[in-house]
Amino acid sequence: MTDDERMALIHAELDELSTPQRADLARLLLADPQVRALRDELQGLSSRLDAIGQVEPPPQLKDSILNRLRSVPVAPTYRKASFARWRLAAMVAGLLMAGTIVYETVQGPAPGGRETAGTMAADAPTTVDSVVVESGPVTGRATLYRDKTGLAVGVQVSAAEPVDVLITSGGHSFRINGLGSSEPAGNAHQTVALPGVRMQGQDIELSFLIGERTVSRATLRAPAGP
Partner 1 sequence: MKEEDDPALVLRCRAGDRDAFERLVIRYQKPVFNVALRMLRDRQDALDVAQTAFLKAFEHLADYDPAFRFYSWLYRIAINESLNALALRKPRGELDANAADERPGPDRDAEGDQTLRAIEDALMLLSPELRTVVVLRHITQLSYEDIAEALGLPEKTVKSRLHSARERLRDHLRQCGAI
Q: Does 94 bind partner 1 (CB under 8 A)?
A: yes
**Longest CA–CA separation in the chain, Å:** 79
Q: Which is nearer to partner 1, 41 or 203 (CB)?
A: 41
Residue (of 131, 158, 134, 140) closest to 219 by Cα position: 131
Q: Does 42 bind partner 1 (CB under 8 A)?
A: yes
Number of residues that bind partner 1 (CB under 8 A): 52
Distance (Å, rounded) from C-alpha 164 to C-alpha 167? 10
**Mapping DSSP to helix (H, G, I), strand (E, B) and coil, where does residue 187 land?**
strand
The DSSP letter of residue 118 is G
Q: Binder to partner 1 among 7, 17, 29, 124 (CB under 8 A)?
A: 7
Q: Which is nearer to partner 1, 26 or 93 (CB)?
A: 93
Instruction: Select the span of 71-79, 131-139, 141-149, 218-226 touching partner 1 (CB under 8 A).
Output: 71-79
Q: Does 224 bind partner 1 (CB under 8 A)?
A: no
Counting Cα atoms < 13 Å in the Cβ hemisphere of 200 gives 8
Identify whether the C-beta of residue 225 lies closer than 8 Å to the C-beta of residue 198: yes
Q: Does 65 bind partner 1 (CB under 8 A)?
A: yes
CB of 167 to partner 1, least distance (A): 14
Residue 98 CA from chain centroid, whole number? 19
Q: CB neighbours of 212 closer than 8 A, spacing ≥ 6? A: 164
Q: Binder to partner 1 among 207, 216, 218, 222 (CB under 8 A)?
A: 207
Q: Does 64 bind partner 1 (CB under 8 A)?
A: yes
**Mapping DSSP to helix (H, G, I), strand (E, B) and coil, where does residue 7 land?**
helix
Binding residues vs partner 1 (CB under 8 A): 7-8, 11, 14-15, 41-42, 44-46, 48-50, 52-58, 61-62, 64-66, 68-69, 72, 74-79, 82-83, 85-87, 89-90, 92-94, 97-98, 207, 209, 211-214
